[in-house]
Amino acid sequence: MEILNYTLYIMLLTFWFSTIPVAFLTLIRFVRNRKTLIEKDLRRIYNDPIIIFQITTRSATKTKVVERGINSIIRASNEINYSNYKISVVTEDENDIKNVGKLKNSEIIVVKREYKTNAIKKARALQYAVEYRKNTSENTKNFWIFHMDDESYVTNQTLLSLLKYIREGKGVASEGPIVYPLKFERANPITALAESVRPFGCYDCVSQMTNPPPLHLHGSNLLVRSDIEDTIGWNFGETLAEDQVFGYKIYETYGANALGWHGGILLEQPPLNIKDHFMQRRRWILGTLQNMNKFPFWHKFKIRFKLASYFMGFVSGIVSTILYIITVVPLFIASIQILIDKLEYNPLTWIQYIISSFFPTVFPEITNQINSINGNNIYNPVDLGSLSLLLLFPYIMWLLSYQIGLTLNLRYNKFTLLKKITFHSYALILSLILGLIETFPAFVAILEYQLRKRIKSMEGIPNYDFYVVNK
């Protein structure tokens, strides 16, 4: 039994210590890209290209936030005196023609029910739009497509950044950061706070897009020259993550210089409930797994490593919680008892005892004293010495990722300073829960995919429903 315990302990340590280089890479990308994330040089220069703002939706009539997004485009364009644009709502609902088509500058493209193509779900609608523009002679280098989701909201900064990127001619496809302040208080508090990790992830997205090929691509806040989208298309077969393949295909076809970062912010909203949060993440993972056979070995290896970290993040969180309950809680209680019995008031001593509760190898003398309270070792780890302190670094980076991401989300809300501090406090207190909620969908999706793959091995990988979250 002791050998089994040590074996399990070493396996967990291997994963825990593997997070250290990832944390260092995260820190490097944050520092390197902190000035690039959001474009700030926003001079208005009047040599305007044609931008088609494309909102792809199941139904704009049923999803009221689409109208909000359309109005944001019109408002921002008027404020910077930009008129060389049009809005295309790609929808499957014919009712949108009378309900949404009346809005200024809005073109409604209804995907015909009988339309057949290799793509499925959202990619099918995207491919329909490409073929529609081909018939209207808009698939040329004079047109740019800016992809938006149902809830996407455009600002002045977004438009000026897009115009600058096109004007400078640095590439044919680019992305910008997405933040999630909309409906922040109407969402479940847990999902609203959990969405903090996504804006922080955009620091990594900068590196993905400027040092391609990207491991992932956002389907919204994506700017693509129309002729490039026509060439690449969206016919990638049965996948729920068509944007991931699209990004790689651009790199594969046009090279590293084709991709870039425009730095224009797009405002969106977090999932409004726990189920939507889970299903959204599940779809990302399932789509990525469906795409594996579309990539070369090295790209596939990097994606698998990322998925493994995502999967093990949940396992590690559960195991860490159990270990902390078994080991740290008794240590912490014992240390407090010692300090109270000694009538100890020195803050430095308190700090040393508390550190020893969480990291017993830092102050071994104190740990031995705490253990002696019950006459046995509450905690008897493999002696790691000062190496245990290294685990503080990825843990701190993980906490900071939520705090920095939350700062970006709250920047575009009119909350008072006190309210913002309250949200940050909640994110810190609930950090463990947020981490488990974020990684649980990956854990389930990977197991689900492998199980279905075994069961359906004679029929191929089955399709998965494209779950539409509430807006």
pLDDT tens digits for range 260-291: 999 999 999 999 999 999 999 999 999 999 99
Asked whether residue 330 is assigned to any structural domain, the reply reads no
- Residue indicated by tokens 């298309």: 233
Asked whether residue 51 is assigned to any structural domain, the reply reads yes
**What total number of domains does the chain contain?**
1
Q: Supply the pTM of this predicted model.
A: 0.88
pLDDT of res. 458 = 46
Asked whether residue 323 is assigned to any structural domain, the reply reads no
Asked whether residue 282 is assigned to any structural domain, the reply reads no
Choose the weakest-confidence range: 123-132, 239-248, 356-365, 376-385.
376-385
Asked whether residue 146 is assigned to any structural domain, the reply reads yes
Asked whether residue 305 is assigned to any structural domain, the reply reads no
pLDDT tens digits for range 21-39: 888 889 999 999 999 999 9
Asked whether residue 211 is assigned to any structural domain, the reply reads yes
Between 363 and 457, the higher pLDDT residue: 363
CATH number for position 170? 3.90.550.10
Report the relative pairing of strands 222-225 and 143-148 from DSSP bridges. antiparallel
Asked whether residue 155 is assigned to any structural domain, the reply reads yes
At residue 385 the predicted structure's pLDDT band, cuts being 50, 70 and 90, is very low
Range of the domain at 245: 40-276
* One-letter identity of residue 117: T
| Residue in 294, 210, 296 with CA at minimum distance from that of residue 244 | 294
Q: Distance between CA 316 and CA 312 in Å, rounded?
A: 6
